[in-house]
Structure 1
Amino acid sequence: MSGGENLDVPQDGRRRGNSVGRINVGDTSPSLTTMHTSKFQRRQSDARVYALNEKSSTDRDIWRKLIIAFNELSYRQTWIKPFLVLIFSVATYLISDNGSAIHLFFEAMIIPSYQIEGSDQYGKGINDFYFVGFYALFFTFVREFMMCCVLKPLAIRLGIRKEAKVKRFMEQTYSMFYYGVSGPLGLYIMSKLPLWFFETTPFYTNYPHFTHDLFFKVYYLGQAAFWVQQSVVLVLQLEKPRKDFPELVLHHIITIALIWCSYRFHFTWMGLAVFITMDVSDFFLATSKTMNYVDSIFTGPFFCVFVLVWIYLRHYINLKILWSVLTEFKTVGEWELNWETQQYKCYISQPIVFGLIGALQLVNAYWLFLIFRILKRYIVGGDTVDERSDDESEEETVSSEEDNKKNQ
């Protein structure tokens, strides 16, 4: 495998799993494609396939088969239903009368609202909730399309056959794609602001941040949409939760609370810094695990790089932000509670901000402990089994014949 570990090769020629790069630390939620498939769902699929093979003698039978075929196709290609809803929404917006209630509703969903006339700045309001909801659906489509049409065929082409590993590969490769975009985008937005590079004082000297330019607003609400989509799918994952399910749920709850509170109470510059620490480290994490699934010789060295990035961003920078909440939150800028002027940097918000970021830090610290255990196993060359990973010995093997059959 990676990093020169001496792993025994079983008689069947397959390599034993290595926990380096495979730890579930900070995993995003499974997609609809990679969720556990129950026996009931498989029986339903088999029943639909059987019904499609029955003889059709009437027009009613043909219509019935069309409905069954659509249900089976959308079961296998999970991107179809969200795609149809997106197409319906955009089409309704385009063909509806300007100024009508339906047009304004879909406009609020699709296009950022509250542009301040005569400037490049955007305010905040109730329409932002509609925007987040629509793009949560958009992320569902993008993720499922990539899973079904790009990443699963890629996994098979790369020789990954075990079902659990195929699903993990798909999840982590998609995470590489998302965080590979959101991380640099966040850094680009930060570079245009006084808080580059993770300067904390501007959080408070320029507070409150009522408005933002288009890129900042779309980025921030896009992050909210991404995490809302992740949380909804996580709630749906009720049949077979992973071993890190409680930590994952807590992480999602804290993240959603941070996003909403920071946006509503104008702490978005601080929120941007936290987003970047999460996204960049998650990119390195997902890349490390993806390398492991394809048996890259760079898995071990890259995992060590990931550990350094994780410590710097998730701990050093976040602790720096926490320290600023204790030391600069009160002393820099105005310090009062005024609902009319929306001045919320006060004795109430300080412990709330510290508590939310501190809770995130505790989750990260727990994950760091597990990361160090994996790193120790890699360095000393001892046990490489990650007890936090689900047992894959009984998972089904995904054969190319089955995939070809499903894609017919």
Structure 2
Amino acid sequence: MGLSEGFWHHEYWLPPGATWEDMKESAGVHYPQPQNLLLCIPGALLLIIVRCIFERTVALPLGRRLGVSDKRRPKVQPNATLEGFYVQLSRTPKKGDLVSLAKRSDLPVRKVETWFRHRRAQDRPGLMKKFCEASWRFTFYFTSFFSALGLLYDKPWFWDHTVCWLKYPQQPLPSALDWFYLLELSFYCSLVATLPFDVKRKDFKEQIIHHIATITLIFVSYCANLIRFGMIVMLVHDASDYILELAKMLHYLKWKRVCEAVFIVFAVVFIISRLVIFPLTTYYYFVTKFQLFLLSCLINTFLMILQLLHIFWSYLIIQMIFSVLLHGAKRKDARSDTEESERSEAEDLPKS
């Protein structure tokens, strides 16, 4: 048996007693074709292009019209020695490095410290970049969530999850769900491709884990024809994502009260959908109704990873709400940028 044949052996992908012969296409009956997933590569590239066009022609003009503007930041004097260290070694030099750089540049240590602080401020993403990024994600998640609702509301297995497993894996795949699955996979692949260029947040590592787990689950669930289960999982996850992106947009617009109200709605929807609906209904039916085999064990593992991330993010959300409501702390995105705070940025600006 060759490597490819071994990888696609039906015992790995399908429940006991089922084979790929059970999922052969016939006249009028369509089943998932794993080779179709290769379309996610051009799909991801197309979404990146669409995003660039959207941000330039829609999000940017909208942000300007609504008053989003980047703060003025100090410009650093060109210095080849300091720039070389900044680019090649570290953006935040230690005390010994500062002393060494000061000697090599013939500058006081204090001025070297200031140069690096201002240089980091130049690289920090501005409000407009954040607004454009949030606008794109809001548009996609909003469209994705309500499109999925439109596709699923008349499906009996959407309202009764036990129906998801009837006659599995011989469950014909409607072409609309096929394309929707491919679109979701393409989107998350595009997010991975643009991670180095997007705004970096404190949960950057968790984001990478989340994207890898999501892509893996979409891939394997499509190949094994777990489309019904996969659609419900994606819908539950998309229910809160667009609300968070809307809250971010309002935050960048400095619409404080509206932002806080939307964020509370997001927190409620997130906790209910991720910590109640997902584990107690969707995941519960998968564990109790589905036969145990190799692929189901893999899916269980990645679903548990997602649930751990849900708990982690719920903790951050609750922590943020309590800090604002009980302690009057400065409102701040729990997944804020990894760079210095807005307060640090303000201190770097010259005083009027």
Do both share a fold (TM > 0.5)?
yes
Question: Contact conserved, 2:25 with 2:31, CA < 8 A, in 1?
Answer: yes
Deviations 1:216-244 (A, max 9, x none): 1110111111111111222x449x84321
Q: Which has a greater percent of helix? A: 2
User: What is the identity, as a one-letter code, of the residue corresponding to 1:226?
Assistant: F
Task: Supply the RMSD in Å over aligned alpha carbons.
Answer: 2.5
Work out the percentage of aligned pairs sharing the same amino acid.
25
Q: Deviations over 1:168-187 (max 9, x none)?
A: 11111111111111101111
The DSSP-based 3-state class of the residue aligned with 1:195 is helix
Shift of 1:349: 3.0
Deviations 1:135-169 (A, max 9, x none): 21211111110111221122122221125221111
1:389 maps to 2:307: no
1:350 alignment partner in structure 2: 296
Alignment equivalent of 2:211, drawn from 252, 257, 261: 252
Pick closer, same or farther for the CA change 1:264–1:118 going to 2, 3 Å. Answer: closer
1:150 to 39, 44, 58: 58
Take 1:267 and 1:171, find their aligned partners in 2: how far apart are those partners? Answer: 32
Deviation of residue 361 (structure 1)?
0.7
How much does 1:385 deviate? 4.9
**Structure 1 position 264 matched with structure 2 position 210:** no
8 Å contact 2:127–2:252 — kept in the other structure?
yes
3-state DSSP class of the match of 2:126?
helix
Give, in whole Å, the separation in 2 of the partners of 1:204 and 1:129.
23
Matched letter for residue 277 of structure 2 = I
- Structure 2 unmatched runs, 5+: 1-22, 71-124, 347-352
Q: In 2 relative to 1, CA 388–279 (structure 1 residues): closer, same or farther, beyond 3 Å?
A: closer
Indicate which of 298, 305, 310 corresponds to 2:270.
Answer: 310
Is 2:145–2:239's contact at 8 Å kept on the other side of the alignment?
Answer: yes
Aligned-residue offset at 1:253 = 0.7
How far did 1:203 drift? 2.2
| Distance across 1 between alignment mates of 2:244 and 2:201 | 18
Contact 1:277 1:318 in 2 (8 A): yes
Distance 1:350 1:115 in 2: 22
Q: Is the 8 A contact 2:188 2:211 kept in 1?
A: yes
2:75 maps to: none
Contact 1:160-1:166 at 8 Å conserved across structures: yes
Which amino acid is the alignment partner of residue 378 of structure 1?
A: V
Map 1:212-231; keep pairs closer than 5 Å: 212-231=173-192
The Cα shift of 1:202 comes to 1.7
Corresponding residue for residue 166 of structure 1: 128
TM-superposition CA deviations, 1:286-324 (whole Å, max 9, x none):
112212222333222221111111112112121022222
Q: Tell me the TM-score normalised to structure 2 length.
A: 0.69
Deviates more, 1:132-141 or 1:155-164: 155-164
Indicate conservation of the 8 Å contact 1:176/1:287, yes or no: yes
User: Where do residues 100-249 of structure 1 align in structure 2 (5 Å cutoff)?
Assistant: 118-119=27-28, 121-162=29-70, 164-197=126-159, 199-208=160-169, 211-234=172-195, 236-237=196-197, 241-249=200-208
SS at match of 2:157: coil
> Partner of 1:226: helix, strand, or coil?
helix
Q: Which string of whole-angstrom CA distances, capped at 9 and with x for unpartnered residues, describes residues 29-75 of structure 1?
A: xxxxxxxxxxxxxxxxxxxxxxxxxxxxxxxxxxxxxxxxxxxxxxx
Task: Answer whether contact 2:60 2:132 (CA < 8 A) is retained.
Answer: yes
Superposition map of 1:328-367 within 5 A: 328-330=289-291, 346-367=292-313
Change in CA separation of 1:284 and 1:378 when aligned onto 2, cut-off 3 Å:
same
Unaligned runs of 5+ in 1: 1-113, 331-345, 397-408
- d(CA) in 2 for partners of 1:209, 1:305: 40
How big is each residue's C-alpha offset from its partner over 1:107-146, in whole Å with a ceiling of 9 and x where there is no partner?
xxxxxxx995642x43333541332222212111111101
Residue 291 of structure 1: aligned partner: 250
AA aligned opposite 1:358: M
| Structure-1 separation of matches of 2:68 and 2:283 | 42
